[in-house]
Amino acid sequence: MALVDSHCHLNFRAYDHDRPEVMQRARAAGVNRIIIPGVDLDSCKQALALAASESGIFAAVGIHPNSSADFDDSALDSLRRLAAEPNVVAVGEIGLDYHWDKSPKATQWRAFEKQLGLASALELPVIIHNREGRVDTAPSASHDLMALLEKWAPTAPARLTGRLGVLHSFSASADIAARALKLGFYLGFTGPVTFKNADDLREIARRAPVDRLLVETDGPFLSPQQRRGKRNEPAYVRYVNDKLAGLHGLRPEDMAHQTSLNAEKLFALPPG
């Protein structure tokens, strides 16, 4: 059973002491491709270095909203240069984060829009981060995010039709899911879909078309229920896959095949 972990921060320090062993366990679990998204310029470079050193690893380049406080045209130019390197398959992780107060909203919006424009220019899909504030406020991060995406999507190049990007680690409402799917986005699911109290999220995953689903770890974060309290890693993506398979009445190997095909289409990956 081959799997694609479509979002893992394998370049983070949490893996520094045993990264080769993490990769061995991933391959033993059938994970034959991993996408590492950048969160700032340094992490983008680290992702590219790992992608160059290991087969089956690919990179995305982008400035995370929590790293966007100093975003400027120079950073955008740097991303453009990095995106020209081999094994870059997306612009990301980009988006909005109202949970942490690390970058003003207006700055996050500007960085997000500029990077969406870069994705259009490079004809690359986007990996979208969306996190709500600690206190419910209006408008929400999801509302602002979708407004920006619904403005951008009609302007995207024809080569991105049907593969604009993914709302990574999806955790928003059913309405946001429907709007994203209507635009042509994929939905990425992580460990929380396995949590005991995640019935609403599971219902969203169940209703989503199987050809729009991706499985992710977001390692080292968001470990699935079976590994709660431990560092997440690519081998554990199988727990997310198995949960989605059950929700759609499929065998795990059939869901793995489908989500791998989905990742190949979205990110133009070579067949695994």
**Tens of pLDDT, residues 69-101:** 999 999 999 999 999 999 999 999 999 999 988
Q: Above pLDDT 90, what percent of the chain?
A: 95
When pLDDT is cut at 50, 70 and 90, the band that residue 141 belongs to is: very high
Task: Give the per-residue pLDDT at 134.
Answer: 66
133: nearest Cα among 119, 120, 145, 118: 145
**Least reliable range by pLDDT among 31-35, 62-66, 94-98, 99-103:** 99-103
pTM attached to this predicted model: 0.97
Query: Using an 8 Å Cβ cutoff, are 65 and 112 in contact?
Result: yes
Short-list 31, 68, 2, 66, CA closest to 232: 31
CA 36 – CA 263 distance, rounded (Å): 13
The secondary structure element, H or E, covering residue 127 is strand 126-131
Q: Tokens in use for 56?
A: 């089956």
pLDDT digits (tens, 9 = 90+) for 177-226: 999 999 999 999 999 999 999 999 999 999 999 999 999 999 999 999 99
pLDDT for 135 equals: 62
pLDDT of amino acid 118: 98
What digits encode the pLDDT tens for the residues 124-137? 999 999 998 666 67
Kindly write down the DSSP assignment for every residue of 54-68, as one continuous string.
STTEEEEE---GGG-
Hey, which residues does 233 pair with through a beta bridge?
none
Element holding 242 (H helix, E strand): helix 237-247
DSSP string, 87-100: TEEEEEEEEEE-SS
Domains and CATH numbers, the chain: 3-267 (3.20.20.140)
